[in-house]
């Protein structure tokens, strides 16, 4: 398994901002979100989302089109593109 590269840009008592960069096929690894969060895609692309039961879905990402999720999301995120992909994740503590 190749992991994506997480670069924390801000981390204080209220917010954490992380840039995620993924080589083709790289992934976050299975994880549970401990905070509500917003994802800001840095480019158009396709991400494969795998839930704990192994079910796969695909998310079509559009540059600059953000989305919000509540804490508790449990998944693995995989770059399904043949190019490096990145997004910024903003967590609300």
Mean pLDDT of 17-38: 98
Overall pTM > 0.85: yes
Residue 1: pLDDT over 90: no
Exposure pattern of 64-76 as b/e (b: 16+ CB <10 Å)? eeeeeeeeeeebb
pLDDT tens for residues 46-87? 999 999 999 999 999 999 999 999 999 999 999 999 999 999
Q: What is the rounded average pLDDT for all residues in the chain?
A: 98
Is 31 within 8 Å of 74 (Cβ atoms)? yes
Place of tokens 């398994």: 1
How large is the C-alpha radius of gyration of the chain?
A: 12
User: What digits encode the pLDDT tens for the residues 25-35?
Assistant: 999 999 999 99
- What tokens were used for 75? 């998944």
Give the domain 5-92 fold.
Jelly Rolls (2.60.120)
How far apart (Å, rounded) are the C-alpha atoms in residues 82 and 62? Answer: 16
């Amino acid at each position: 398994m190749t992991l994506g590269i997480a670069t924390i840009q801000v981390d204080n008592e209220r917010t954490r901002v992380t840039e995620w960069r993924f080589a083709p096929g790289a992934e976050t690894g299975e994880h549970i979100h401990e905070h509500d969060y917003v994802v800001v895609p840095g480019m158009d692309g396709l991400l494969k989302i795998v839930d704990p039961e192994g079910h796969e879905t695909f998310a079509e990402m559009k540059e600059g089109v953000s989305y919000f999720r509540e804490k508790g999301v449990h998944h693995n995120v995989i770059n399904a593109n043949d190019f490096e992909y990145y997004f910024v994740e903003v967590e609300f503590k």
